[in-house]
Structure 1
Amino acid sequence: MSQPSNAAEQNITNALISGLANFAETPTRDDVEAKAKQLADIFGYTGDMRGIVTAALISVDTRMGAGVSLVDVAAKHDDLWVRKREDIEWTYSNAYEGFLREDGWPPSMVTSLGDVTGRILGLLQDPHSEGTSWNRRGLVIGHVQSGKTANYTSLIARAADAGYKFIIVIAGIHNNLRKQTQERIDKAFIGRSSDPEDRRNIGVGLNPNYPHPATLTNINEDFNKNTATKSGWKINDFSKPIILVIKKNVTTLTALHKWLKDLNAKGDGRISDVPMLLIDDEADNASINTNKEDLDPTRTNGKIREILSLFAKSCYVGYTATPFANIFINPDAYTDEVREDLFPRDFIYCLDAPTTYFGAEKVFLDEESSQNIVRPIDDCENFIPFAHKRDDKLPELPASLYRALDQFIVARAIRNLRGQTNKHCSMMVNVSRFVPIQRAVRDFLSLREKRIREAVKANYRMPESASSTNEYMQGLKRAFDDEYSAAGFAWSEVKAALHGVFEHLHLYVINSKSDEVLDYGRYEKEGVGLTAIAVGGLSLSRGLTIEGLTVSYMYRNTKMYDALMQMGRWFGYRPGFEDLCRVNLSRDSINWYAHIADAADELTQQVKRMRRDGLSPKDFGLYVRSHPDSLLVTAANKMRSGEEITIEQSFSGVLIESYIVSTDVNANKDNFKLVEELWRQGFGGRNEEETSKGFIFRDVPIGIVEAFVRRFECHTNFSPRKLDVLNYIEQIADHRLEADVLLISPKNGTGGGDFVLRHQARAVGEDQPVGTAWLLNKYRVASRGDEGLGLTDEQREEATQFAREGKAEQLARKKRDSKDEGGEVSVSDAHFRMVRKKPLLMVHSLEPKGKQIPGPVAAFGISFPYGDSETIKAVVNIVWLRQMQGYGDNPDDEEDYDD
């Protein structure tokens, strides 16, 4: 059956979603299918309805909370000024919301976006406010690939309606990202293509009498000296807003500053009558540790500050998904003036992710969904080692990468069977920062794809007895059996659909040295879904949206929070194919992603707690800077040689666990003897209470907990962290007089006995450290939810309330049928930590699976409550940093930076 055009499918989808919005209650699948059939009859639509029904079901189930803000409580700012301004005509924002609805956004999401950006606008200054000079500095924290661009575009539209006349968007450090952002702004705000050869109205500009803003940048040209010279324009030459989309580098920022100063500043060197908004997308990117002159973070941030200082009335809003960034973590890298000017002293706004967001929670933290999505890479080191060089020879690709290619081809076939032929479908391969290696990888994949294509062409209609003799068909069948046998189709159906996969399949190398472009828009115009395999490095790692990303293969060795999270291009929205997505990573990366996801959740909970307690952004900045995880980010930015550095750290609201444990038999015997001794004594004469997963002793003197940690024989590599814990306990012991002790001993565990813990079975990851060490998966000892054991009903309810705050509309459904009543709100250990008033010591007995490591093994963790202001001095050197980071992923060595 021939496929309908994208336009026809989109039109009926939009009509269906709009019709469903009028239902008094959430429609069931039967309701949606009945309404879809009714509309198809009216429109005379004969195409495949499966994708349309799926999109509508996701639409009615998508919700987004209001998020939470932390504002400077001492500032005299009226955040209700927007409501009080009756003169605002919402021309740009109404056009943008209409554009989103026509683009298929669920009506509830469009409404939520408008509500959220209306709140953020209220945190900016009223551009019509009295006063000759003012400035505001803020930060918006979102999620990777979750719609930050849509959020700041909505904010731009609202700010323009309110009276902001000059708007700058700093869109990362790469040409392809700047171009992508320019194209989006063209459609969503300017309303006219900025392609010099195609100046037609597009997007919002299709509305009659749309007041097009002006721009001095286009899809091909960033702002530069030639642009400024050719224009000869001044800001006040325009009655409508002006918007620029620029890269974050010194040359561009210098050219812009010169133009603004030479042509627009008055005698006092300032621009006094033009309210200005600067959006800094990927605000953390300036923290990157590079010696490249044009990307120097100090000079870059200095130029941003200089541009802001030219305007008497300015607002700076940074957007980031990784708030362990320069504004918090690297206070010594800039002068006091720069740091003060860019720090978000006025507000921090944490965005909620929509219910349909495919994020770190699903990919790494939820055990059930993580097992379905994540696949460990164990064979890449022998082919493309972490520490390879740009001129290394690549003899072949690892088998795991070829398996990922098979996954992708089968997944595309299933998506086609689901009626998603017109939707884009992509695979990302990120295994090297070097262009020559990227090209070699593409060549190998291209050869393999050609052979699979030929095998499919010859066999897709053949009986299984014949096709199963072909080695490439065998690989595809294995991918189906191992990954997708529960996807709703038999192998015979998938095999028949394989031939259609290759019709629009193309391979790309994406970096600044390549002229290949992932031009999804070109295919959309033709009503075609592109099937793309994108091989790249840093250009794939930050900001660039890969449409319909279904299979990812990444083997990169960095533990920098911002870099690692930004490499996660698999986060985003996967309507109708979330179950087909696969993420192939090294085991070390899997562990670190899980750890970072927990840390990011902690930060969001801290914002909520600080808002409740009436604190300000500066307090959050202090919290992040003193967070234990800041050590890695700070050290990497500061340490240029072998010197030691000292960092002030706090463990307030933090869980510290012995994630690397000793497998020495005698050490574990001594540790279990220590547990037995204190258990027999009731940990200072306290009564033992049973929990659902072991035993708890309440109100144990803090000195006994300190003695336990001090006497516990940990692995040498954990010794510095153990010392930090002891120092911190000593710091807080004057007011934290007691702690709870939780002995984790699950009823279904093995072993056990009088004063002997039952064991928890744990998998042993590949590539364990040499010697008597066991590095635990995801760097976690406790299971999720363990910190809630022993809490009172009142405390559990309080933790649930924290989880529910701002998320009343986010009770996500795991099933979309008429029987589903909605899922439970997810309460994390960070929420439990918020309601505890005492430290919690958790003790474990771990039984390693297999014979690789002798067991049982003793481990512990200690969870500190929020509210302590004490800090300790943590000292690290370059040896520690190398242990934490592994092989360097130094941006100075990157070959795909823009010239």
Structure 2
Amino acid sequence: MTTTVITEERNIANALISGLANLAEPPTRDEVEDKAKQIAGIFGYSGDLRNIVTEAMISVDTRMGAGVSLVDVAAKHDDQWVRKRSDVAWTYSNAYENFLLKDGWPPQMVQSLSDVTARILGHLEDPLSEGANWSRRGLVIGHVQSGKTANYTGLIARAADAGYKFIVVIAGIHNNLRKQTQERIDEAFIGRSSDPDDRRAIGVGLTPGFPNPATLTNINEDFNKNTATKSGWKINDFSKPIILVIKKNVTTLTALHKWLKELNAEGDGRIADVPMLLIDDEADNASINTNKEDLNPTRTNAMLRRILSLFAKSCYVGYTATPFANIFINHDAYDEEVREELFPRDFIYCLDAPTTYFGAEKVFLDEDTSQSVVRPIDDCEDFLPHSHRRDALILELPPSLYHAFDQFIVARAIRNLRGQRTKHCSMMINVSRFVPIQKAVRDFISLREKKMREAVRANYLMPESVSSANLYMQALRTAFDAEYAEVGHTWIEVKSHLNSVFDHLHLYVINSKSDEALDYARYEREGIGLTAVAVGGLSLSRGLTIEGLTVSYMYRNTRMYDTLMQMGRWFGYRPGFQDLCRVHLSRESINWYSHIAEAAEELTQQIKRMRRDGMSPRDFGLYVRAHPDSLLITAANKMRSGEELTVEQSFSGRLRESYIVSTNPDVNGRNFALIAEYWRSGFAGRPEEQTDKGVIFRDVPIGVVEDFLKRFETHSTFAGLKADVVSYLERIAERRPLADVLLISPSAGSGGDQPYTLKNQVRVVGKDQANGTAWRLNKDRVASRGDEKLGLSDTQLKEAEALATEENGNETVSDTHYRMVRNKPLLMIHSLAPRNEALVGPVAAFGVSFPYGDYSTTINVVVNKVWLQQMQGYGDTPDEEEDYDA
């Protein structure tokens, strides 16, 4: 396909989307197709309209909320200054918004982005405000691969229009990420390619008379001593804004500091009358607890502070999708001065994800979509174990990885069948931190790709009776039958498109040591959809956008929250192929991703709750430090030896469940007898009420719940957490003297034939657990999603729906919403039947849902190295990655 045809398609799509944007009611697909045909006729276009129609349908359905901010209520700051400034022309921001529209963004999304960036700008200082000195510190929390770069680019454009003269973007720790960010800034803000060999107008710069900002970095060169020495420039030499895109390491930051201090600072050592904005992309990444000197978090942050302190007027805005490190780790990893200076004391802004975002909710928390997307890896340990050395001999790859590759080939064929041949399609393989192992994996995949290419070429046009005799064609048919038989295409149709998959299929090893580049833009310019298999480690895990990612295979052992979430490059937008996406992970990783997704959702809910209560970022920081998960993070960061660690914890707004249950029949027999005893007594004489899924006892004295839990027997690995739950109930008893008790007993469940016995809920048993003494429940969840609504009043249910509508733009209510409207603890009691006859059942389990609002109430928890290893295992750490730019 030629670039002319692609431009025609883009113009038709833009015209169609604009025409649909103002409709009062969402159109049907037939209506969109009719409109597309009309516009195509005007353009004289007779090509395939399927992609254009799909893009328009997604555009019509895409919405994004305004997000929510938590601000320092005591600060004397007028966040309405943007609205009051009538002198701003908004040249850069208008050009950026027009650029997004031409790039196919839905008009309502562009408007939402405009509104949100205006609100964030309001949290910064007015660059023309009076006063010799000021500084602002903030944090913007987004979602992995959800458009944070688009947001901070919009903020940069607005800040430049308002009068910020010196802008620095810190784009992670890798060369490829810095280059990718520079290219985006070139196109969306500078308007000119920074490639020294190709200084042409691009993006926003194609507008006549566009006032190009200056840049001291380019796609090939970071800011360094050489750049600083040969430039001889001073900031005030420029009438237009200056922007730098740099890596986050000590050498780069030191060179920038030296240049600023020597050439620009005045007598008092400061730079006056140059309002400065520093954007720290992937802001949590400085929190990696690494021994590599150039990435030392304390030194890095000290240099950031020194650069900021050179300016009399400065704003620091961190952007992250994983705020755990910013708010958890910083308090323990850095000295007091560094922590206080970069903590987001002035504002924390939570961005809403657009409705079409393919995020952690869909991949891990929504049981229906998760079931179609996630595939557990159970065979990797025998071939490529979690713990391996850089010189390990890899004799073969696990069958599950070959199956994932087969899925990818079939998925690409289906995308071609759907008319997406010019769209990029990628597979990610992340199984090792070591560069030699990554290369070995690529070699094995390359060999299979060669044999498969030959088999397809010889068989794709053959009758099924002939092609099905080939082993590789059998593997592709198996992948289709297992994964894609229900996506609307027949195997015969897909088989006929298999050969086209190999036209532009390339294998890459992506790390800081390789010279291979995932250059999607080059193929795009030629009108080609790249089919890429990317093998790598940390470089695949940090900010790098993998276009059209369809199949992911990751077998890594890390438990670091920020690292794990950033490895999830499968999050993002999947227009027209979301149903084809597959994510292959170890069962342990699936559990941790689910846990972290829940924790992230709870943090966002807490910000919204604190906003309503008129609290400040500092209050949120104190709450998060007392969050139960902070224990896992700070302990991993600090416990290098066997010492004990005491941490204050709050369970406000949390669900604590016995997801590790004992399989001992005697223990479970005693637990079920205990349940029957309390049930028979009405939990101290309370009346029994029916719910949709069992019975509830309301307003049970909290002491009765404590006594029940003290007598309930848990597996030894969970005993400490049960004790913490009881301690927390004791601490909040004066404020919340009553609790509800829910005995979950679904009518369709097995068992429950005897009086005072529960019907069973069937649960999947993970691999290699059947013969053990404990059973770790899938995704570390006992209750099903939605159980926490049982027993709520109609008024409370409506309040939860209103909260969800306010936040999501729809009535998709999560358990955290139900928790926010509940004003007392909820004890849930379960009987679980394993979906595996090798494991004796049923087993008893419990969960306690704590209401929001007790974030100032904490308990002391003492842990040691043994506890940490039980909870976290021996996961790999970023410090062990070879894949660093150091």
Q: TM-score band (shorter)?
A: over 0.9
CA distance in 2: counterparts of 1:494 and 1:728, whole angstroms: 57
CA distance in 2: counterparts of 1:32 and 1:175, whole angstroms: 43
Deviations along 1:598-638, one digit per CA (max 9) or x if unpaired, are 11111111111111111111111111111001111111121
CA distance in 1: counterparts of 2:458 and 2:97, whole angstroms: 49
Q: Name the SS for the 2:758 alignment partner.
A: strand
Compute the displacement of 1:2 (Å). 9.4
Deviations along 1:667-716, one digit per CA (max 9) or x if unpaired, are 00000011011111110110001100001101111111101111111000
AA paired with 1:880? Answer: W
Assess if the C-alpha contact under 8 Å between 1:386 and 1:887 holds in 2.
no
Establish whether residue 714 from structure 1 lines up as the match of residue 714 from structure 2.
Answer: yes
Give the aligned partner of residue 338 of structure 2: 338
Assess if the C-alpha contact under 8 Å between 2:771 and 2:839 holds in 1.
no
CA distance in 2: counterparts of 1:852 and 1:238, whole angstroms: 74
Give the aligned partner of residue 274 of structure 2: 274
RMSD over equivalenced CA pairs, Å: 1.2
Q: Name the SS for the 2:513 alignment partner.
A: coil
CA distance in 1: counterparts of 2:590 and 2:518, whole angstroms: 27
1:252–1:769 distance in 2 versus 1, CA, 3 Å:
farther
Give the aligned partner of residue 577 of structure 1: 577
CA distance in 2: counterparts of 1:207 and 1:2, whole angstroms: 24
Compute the displacement of 1:720 (Å). 1.2
1:126-275 matched pairs, under 5 angstroms: 126-275=126-275
Give the aligned partner of residue 548 of structure 1: 548
CA distance in 1: counterparts of 2:825 and 2:447, whole angstroms: 58
Assess if the C-alpha contact under 8 Å between 2:770 and 2:839 holds in 1.
no
Establish whether residue 521 from structure 1 lines up as the match of residue 498 from structure 2.
Answer: no
Deviations along 1:314-342, one digit per CA (max 9) or x if unpaired, are 11111111111134433132222211111
Deviations along 1:383-434, one digit per CA (max 9) or x if unpaired, are 1100011010000001000000110000001001111000000000000000
Assess if the C-alpha contact under 8 Å between 1:82 and 1:126 holds in 2.
yes
Unaligned residue ranges in structure 1 (runs of 5+): 812-824
Give the aligned partner of residue 679 of structure 2: 679
Normalising to structure 2: TM-score of the pair? 0.99
Deviations along 1:243-283, one digit per CA (max 9) or x if unpaired, are 01011111111111111111111111111110000101111
AA paired with 2:598? Answer: D
CA distance in 1: counterparts of 2:634 and 2:657, whole angstroms: 21
Q: Name the SS for the 1:507 alignment partner.
A: strand
Q: Name the SS for the 2:759 alignment partner.
A: strand
Assess if the C-alpha contact under 8 Å between 2:700 and 2:740 holds in 1.
yes
Give the aligned partner of residue 871 of structure 1: 858
AA paired with 1:758? Answer: K
Q: Name the SS for the 1:647 alignment partner.
A: strand
CA distance in 2: counterparts of 1:93 and 1:208, whole angstroms: 15
CA distance in 2: counterparts of 1:888 and 1:19, whole angstroms: 52
CA distance in 1: counterparts of 2:769 and 2:633, whole angstroms: 24
Compute the displacement of 1:736 (Å). 1.9
AA paired with 2:168? Answer: I
Give the aligned partner of residue 805 of structure 2: 804
Give the aligned partner of residue 867 of structure 2: 880
CA distance in 2: counterparts of 1:200 and 1:798, whole angstroms: 55
CA distance in 2: counterparts of 1:532 and 1:680, whole angstroms: 63
Give the aligned partner of residue 695 of structure 1: 695
Compute the displacement of 1:196 (Å). 0.8
Compute the displacement of 1:879 (Å). 2.2
Compute the displacement of 1:885 (Å). 2.6
Assess if the C-alpha contact under 8 Å between 1:289 and 1:636 holds in 2.
no
CA distance in 2: counterparts of 1:676 and 1:330, whole angstroms: 48
1:5-404 matched pairs, under 5 angstroms: 5-404=5-404
1:110–1:760 distance in 2 versus 1, CA, 3 Å:
same
Assess if the C-alpha contact under 8 Å between 1:559 and 1:884 holds in 2.
no
Q: 1:861 aligns with which of 837, 841, 847?
A: 847
Assess if the C-alpha contact under 8 Å between 1:272 and 1:313 holds in 2.
yes
Give the aligned partner of residue 837 of structure 2: 851
Establish whether residue 621 from structure 1 lines up as the match of residue 621 from structure 2.
Answer: yes
Give the number of equivalent residue pairs.
884
CA distance in 2: counterparts of 1:22 and 1:651, whole angstroms: 46
Give the aligned partner of residue 820 of structure 1: none
Deviations along 1:420-479, one digit per CA (max 9) or x if unpaired, are 000000000000000000000000000000000000000001000000000000000011
Establish whether residue 485 from structure 1 lines up as the match of residue 473 from structure 2.
Answer: no
Q: Name the SS for the 2:792 alignment partner.
A: coil
AA paired with 1:541? Answer: S
Assess if the C-alpha contact under 8 Å between 1:29 and 1:57 holds in 2.
yes
Q: Name the SS for the 1:757 alignment partner.
A: coil
Which stretch shows the higher mean deviation, 320-329 or 689-698?
320-329
Deviations along 1:90-123, one digit per CA (max 9) or x if unpaired, are 1000000010011110111000000010110111
CA distance in 1: counterparts of 2:433 and 2:230, whole angstroms: 37
Establish whether residue 432 from structure 1 lines up as the match of residue 432 from structure 2.
Answer: yes
Assess if the C-alpha contact under 8 Å between 1:769 and 1:775 holds in 2.
no
AA paired with 1:843? Answer: I
Compute the displacement of 1:769 (Å). 8.1
CA distance in 2: counterparts of 1:572 and 1:713, whole angstroms: 43
CA distance in 2: counterparts of 1:324 and 1:767, whole angstroms: 31
Compute the displacement of 1:771 (Å). 2.8
Compute the displacement of 1:24 (Å). 3.4
1:400-419 matched pairs, under 5 angstroms: 400-419=400-419
Compute the displacement of 1:883 (Å). 2.5
Compute the displacement of 1:82 (Å). 0.5
Compute the displacement of 1:875 (Å). 1.7
Establish whether residue 891 from structure 1 lines up as the match of residue 878 from structure 2.
Answer: yes
Q: Name the SS for the 1:572 alignment partner.
A: coil
Q: Name the SS for the 1:469 alignment partner.
A: coil
1:633-782 matched pairs, under 5 angstroms: 633-752=633-752, 753-768=754-769, 771-782=772-783
Give the aligned partner of residue 794 of structure 1: 795
AA paired with 2:618? Answer: K
Deviations along 1:644-665, one digit per CA (max 9) or x if unpaired, are 2111111111110001000000
Assess if the C-alpha contact under 8 Å between 1:744 and 1:843 holds in 2.
yes
Which stretch shows the higher mean deviation, 622-631 or 19-28?
19-28
Give the aligned partner of residue 603 of structure 2: 603
Compute the displacement of 1:872 (Å). 1.1
CA distance in 1: counterparts of 2:6 and 2:397, whole angstroms: 36
1:24–1:787 distance in 2 versus 1, CA, 3 Å:
closer
Compute the displacement of 1:851 (Å). 1.4
Compute the displacement of 1:877 (Å). 1.9
1:4–1:198 distance in 2 versus 1, CA, 3 Å:
closer
Assess if the C-alpha contact under 8 Å between 2:375 and 2:585 holds in 1.
yes
CA distance in 1: counterparts of 2:816 and 2:17, whole angstroms: 37
Compute the displacement of 1:770 (Å). 6.3
CA distance in 1: counterparts of 2:486 and 2:772, whole angstroms: 42
Deviations along 1:521-552, one digit per CA (max 9) or x if unpaired, are 00001000000000000000110000000000
Unaligned residue ranges in structure 2 (runs of 5+): none
Deviations along 1:751-770, one digit per CA (max 9) or x if unpaired, are 11311111111111113286
Q: Name the SS for the 1:756 alignment partner.
A: coil
Which stretch shows the higher mean deviation, 833-842 or 764-773?
764-773
Assess if the C-alpha contact under 8 Å between 2:287 and 2:297 holds in 1.
yes
Q: Name the SS for the 2:475 alignment partner.
A: helix
CA distance in 2: counterparts of 1:587 and 1:60, whole angstroms: 37
CA distance in 1: counterparts of 2:107 and 2:472, whole angstroms: 45
Deviations along 1:551-573, one digit per CA (max 9) or x if unpaired, are 00000011211111100000000
Assess if the C-alpha contact under 8 Å between 2:551 and 2:583 holds in 1.
yes
CA distance in 2: counterparts of 1:4 and 1:538, whole angstroms: 37
